[in-house]
Structure 1
């Protein structure tokens, strides 16, 4: 007797389409980490209106087909990168990186001072701070400061690395920040809070307005501001010039500091903002208990909504909703020709206790007395399936208004949030979640302009804490020009 299909044996994967609703040739399906899925092809039928003398129905006629549904998941670094890009309809602006796809090719040699690469070395400029990973010699996997580069080499200070002659698939070098010369980077307040320099050129390090950066390296005392410890924290960039980076968000206590004798480090990441580039996918579902395995394909699947939820002492979760073209069921239901597999990122799931680095409201960290019990961010692209004569499925997906909303449920410790609700005050919300181990990979979600749309203190009965549920709507930031951004840091110091 054959085994019945178990939910634990249903695998989900997807591949980006070049043409809406068309499965790419030789598709490389990227595995999707999921907690649930309600994806379905929904046949649209009509009963024949033909009148028969025997009162019976002549036929049930297939007239159309919808493809749609939800996928639930637990938030982890890297897992939702494609989802963020599709939900915001933007494109990740990535820091320079080289990853070995073919052994001993993209990076072919590691010497004491030099990484030999096949191409792309010139994108790593002097002063950049890089992270090497998955090199054969464990001690070679570390931070290092670039001295110079060419198209085929990245040069570091003497005795930075031990020799590695054969470089495996998955080894990589990636910019994660930059480091100034001794005493060159200073913290300033005149003309706006920010960083200034004399020898370096800030415009060469890939920073853009709106991006969050981490100033200082608490793991290396010589790489942080000593005179003003408060400066060693996250800041948001307002503008970038060769000799000054101006911040519009700084930590409380920011002050001028000459950084005398310090080689100040600043950590940067990849950056994404909302735009208007729709992307569709073919989603593959495998029923692995079937013998042979059954394959189902949903084509033209375009991400409509993305909901991110954080509850107190829980796992950070997200739910995405797709609208698509149709379903394709091979006959027999075998895998499409030339398909290969790409593993999902393996980073650990993030919790809402030790993995939340910051909840920021109006530019400041939310702490007591208004502790947060629950926070949500909801992205809605207001997509619509476009139907036409001559097609059983959708002929396209229409774009709609980009809406971002959310809510904060907080203790009513003081009236500050309530005042912003009543006064329709323009404020902001940002959320940082990341690992507290390994390289402390981190995600930053920022809504630079929001208005609270309701909420008042709730007195629900005896022996209860007074809470306030504060829904909000994000709007276009007048200066930055976008509604939402997402940043990802591949490395952060412990403090």
Structure 2
């Protein structure tokens, strides 16, 4: 029975441009998962015919359904990976990526040359690289062409980092990548003020930053960070002008500092928030251990609900529930050689969670957090109709409200959080999880606690306060849920 082994099941994913239609010759990407309950199955009804022999006529197939959960461990969702695509589908929005170029497996295709004389990287047209952007180059054949560099000449096609920093490469290799990961000021230009950062030369409005976005202040090495270590931390942008980034959620001990002599580095990444645009995927599962592998293909799959769970001493986990239109069972794969799974390591709650904050302040003693859950439910509904296209299944998917629920279990060390429940005090929650110089930051910018009670269940136990909160529209970010991903940052 080895052909039925779950250890030989492969899941691959491709983005659709039209709901329910797999693109021609799709580029399938393999997905990492811990289990799945996807169901593609027919629906039957029993005939109501009355028979004098007390028997039943054959059941009648009336439809096909396609839905179910995908379970996984949270890791960095690399751009265009299945997890990244599922998140776009869940948020009903596209990632707002920092400028990037990637040869994507084909040498000399998107990044087409490096010229050492002026530090020019020649790329195909796309989002422009701006003066002051901090770019990370990786995957180049010349070792010195890999690393962090500051853009000195902005361009969409020929950005430059300055002379004598890069080495000529006529045809950058297949895995060459150029990605904006932050910004860097001139020596002494970026200073700390009581509510953020200021600059004289660098123009913050040219860098693609957004209100609600998170930044990591300070790079590796004394030259790239404030001398006062308390200032080299995280903050959230609440206002942007040419000469100032106003921040909240600042590190403990934040204070004004001129940054004298420092070419300060500040890291930021891609961002996404709940929106109104539906994104669908085709999902294929293959039972590869069978003598002739079987493939179940499900089309028009939209992520109706996402649950993200952080629990002490456990791996951070997610459940992404899919709702789809049609499918098929076949022996022909959509792509016999899909892209392999990503290699970013799984993240753990507690060990990799750098901060959970409520109302801008880390939730710590005496009300330490034991578990945190964030759920986004799109309230999808399948639209069934009489079809005339020789297909079976729903004809469309309707979307409802984007309901975000936060659950949190804390030790009942004080009544501070319980007071907010009884007083209906709006607040906010954010959680940062990071590993291997990559980070994810979940933000629910406006919530109201709606449930919670505390009791003493028995002796020799801790009294816990389980809380439930509902999100509402935040006037600053115009969102229920935000997620930042930093492809690279330095501590």
Displacement of 1:163? 4.2
Whole-angstrom distance in 1 between the partners of 2:455 and 2:40: 43
Show the counterpart of 1:137: 142
1:453 aligns to what SS in structure 2?
A: strand
Whole-angstrom distance in 2 between the partners of 1:70 and 1:370: 33
Show the counterpart of 2:88: 85
The residue correspondences of 1:9-24 to structure 2 (distance < 5 A) are 9-24=8-23
Which sits farther off after the overlay, 76-85 or 264-273? 76-85
Unaligned runs of 5+ in 1: none
Whole-angstrom distance in 1 between the partners of 2:349 and 2:160: 40
Displacement of 1:433? 0.8
1:414 aligns to what SS in structure 2?
A: coil
Whole-angstrom distance in 1 between the partners of 2:377 and 2:455: 28
On the 8 A contact 2:404/2:470 being kept in 1, the answer is yes
1:355 aligned onto 2:352: yes
Once the two structures are superposed, residues 24-53 of structure 1 have per-residue CA deviations (whole angstroms, 9 ceiling, x without a partner) of 211111111111111112322111112222
Whole-angstrom distance in 2 between the partners of 1:352 and 1:3: 35
1:110 aligned onto 2:114: yes
The residue correspondences of 1:325-344 to structure 2 (distance < 5 A) are 325-330=325-330, 333-336=331-334, 341-344=338-341
1:357 aligns to what SS in structure 2?
A: strand
Show the counterpart of 1:188: 193
On the 8 A contact 1:114/1:153 being kept in 2, the answer is no
| 1:455 to 1:121, Cα distance in 2 relative to 1, 3 A | closer
On the 8 A contact 1:26/1:339 being kept in 2, the answer is no
Show the counterpart of 2:321: 321
1:96 aligned onto 2:93: no
| Alignment RMSD | 1.8
| 1:23 to 1:156, Cα distance in 2 relative to 1, 3 A | closer
Show the counterpart of 1:61: 60
1:454 aligns to what SS in structure 2?
A: strand
Displacement of 1:419? 1.5
On the 8 A contact 2:15/2:85 being kept in 1, the answer is no
Whole-angstrom distance in 2 between the partners of 1:313 and 1:350: 11
Whole-angstrom distance in 2 between the partners of 1:121 and 1:59: 59
Show the counterpart of 1:257: 257
Displacement of 1:72? 0.3
Count of equivalent residues = 482
The residue correspondences of 1:462-481 to structure 2 (distance < 5 A) are 462-481=459-478
Which sits farther off after the overlay, 133-142 or 443-452? 133-142
Question: TM-score, length-normalised on structure 1?
Answer: 0.93
Displacement of 1:111? 4.0
Show the counterpart of 1:3: 2
The residue correspondences of 1:36-435 to structure 2 (distance < 5 A) are 36-78=35-77, 80-101=83-104, 102-112=106-116, 113-120=118-125, 123-189=128-194, 193-217=195-219, 219-226=220-227, 228-330=228-330, 333-336=331-334, 341-390=338-387, 392-435=392-435
Whole-angstrom distance in 1 between the partners of 2:338 and 2:379: 31
On the 8 A contact 2:216/2:234 being kept in 1, the answer is yes
Which sits farther off after the overlay, 347-356 or 313-322? 347-356
Displacement of 1:151? 4.4
Whole-angstrom distance in 1 between the partners of 2:383 and 2:126: 45
Which sits farther off after the overlay, 416-425 or 268-277? 416-425
Whole-angstrom distance in 2 between the partners of 1:140 and 1:357: 31
Once the two structures are superposed, residues 398-453 of structure 1 have per-residue CA deviations (whole angstroms, 9 ceiling, x without a partner) of 00110010211111122221211121111111011111x3xx11111101111111
1:329 aligns to what SS in structure 2?
A: strand
1:246 aligns to what SS in structure 2?
A: strand
On the 8 A contact 1:304/1:323 being kept in 2, the answer is yes
| 1:262 to 1:19, Cα distance in 2 relative to 1, 3 A | same
Once the two structures are superposed, residues 53-72 of structure 1 have per-residue CA deviations (whole angstroms, 9 ceiling, x without a partner) of 22221221001121111110
Displacement of 1:90? 1.3
On the 8 A contact 1:185/1:195 being kept in 2, the answer is yes
Whole-angstrom distance in 1 between the partners of 2:7 and 2:321: 21
On the 8 A contact 2:128/2:157 being kept in 1, the answer is no
| 1:276 to 1:340, Cα distance in 2 relative to 1, 3 A | farther
Whole-angstrom distance in 1 between the partners of 2:239 and 2:338: 42
Once the two structures are superposed, residues 171-207 of structure 1 have per-residue CA deviations (whole angstroms, 9 ceiling, x without a partner) of 1111111111112112223xxx122211111111110
Once the two structures are superposed, residues 318-365 of structure 1 have per-residue CA deviations (whole angstroms, 9 ceiling, x without a partner) of 0011111122123xx3224x6651223210111113211111111011
Displacement of 1:297? 0.8
Whole-angstrom distance in 1 between the partners of 2:408 and 2:109: 49
Which sits farther off after the overlay, 240-249 or 66-75? 240-249
Once the two structures are superposed, residues 198-240 of structure 1 have per-residue CA deviations (whole angstroms, 9 ceiling, x without a partner) of 11111111101110111222x22222222x5433211111121
Whole-angstrom distance in 1 between the partners of 2:418 and 2:476: 26
| 1:121 to 1:58, Cα distance in 2 relative to 1, 3 A | closer
Unaligned runs of 5+ in 2: none
Displacement of 1:121? 7.8
